[in-house]
């Protein structure tokens, strides 16, 4: 079942050692996330392009540790973004299989909204259980009252 989380975040992005490839830059990403997701993050970003002219792309991996809807643990966000004449197009998703502890099985899309220098987020999540994964492979499922569904084929 999908759920939504909303709130604010503070991002600290700092340059790291310059990679040996001209036009590329590495950054650390550390965030404090508030409200529905109460967490901190640590990550690294690799970008290429001409940032000053507004044409660039980045990828990043970010480990999120905290609590979501009463569940504590961590998971990994994968970023992929492009900035060009059409603006910023950012895609941030939970890395499959990265959830730990009570966040095991988490899936989702983390949308970052930047407006007037403020960062907010909209996080659509769901949790896959072992049963969900097994039933997804079935072509026919029998649902019985008061019992777990059963895979027929």
User: Residue 131: which pLDDT band, with cuts at 50, 70 and 90?
Assistant: low
User: Residue 134: which pLDDT band, with cuts at 50, 70 and 90?
Assistant: low
pLDDT digits (tens, 9 = 90+) for 38-85: 999 999 999 999 878 889 999 999 999 999 999 999 999 999 999 998
Residue located via tokens 């992005």: 13
What string of H, E and C letters represents the secondary structure of 6-75? EEEEEEEEEECCCCCCCCEEEEEEEEEECCCEEEEEEEEEEEEEEHHHCEEEEEEEEEEEEEECCEEEEE
In total, the chain counts a number of residues equal to: 153
pTM for this predicted structure: 0.82
Residue ranges of domains in the chain:
3-151
Q: Which fold has domain 3-151?
A: AOC barrel-like (2.40.350)
User: Residue 140: which pLDDT band, with cuts at 50, 70 and 90?
Assistant: confident
């Amino acid at each position: 079942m999908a759920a939504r989380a909303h709130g604010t975040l503070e991002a600290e992005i700092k340059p790291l050692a310059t990679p040996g490839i001209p036009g590329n830059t590495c950054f650390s990403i550390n965030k404090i996330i508030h409200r529905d997701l109460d967490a901190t993050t640590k990550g690294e970003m690799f970008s290429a392009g001409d940032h000053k002219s507004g044409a660039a792309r980045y990828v990043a991996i970010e480990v999120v540790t905290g609590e979501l809807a009463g569940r504590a643990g961590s998971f990994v966000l994968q970023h992929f973004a492009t900035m060009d004449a059409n603006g910023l197009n950012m895609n941030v998703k939970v890395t499959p299989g990265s959830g730990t502890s009570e966040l095991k099985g988490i899936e989702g899309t983390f949308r970052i909204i930047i407006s007037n220098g403020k960062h907010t987020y909209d996080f659509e999540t769901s949790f896959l259980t072992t049963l969900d994964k097994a039933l997804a492979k079935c072509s026919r499922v029998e649902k019985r009252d008061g019992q777990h569904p059963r895979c027929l084929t």
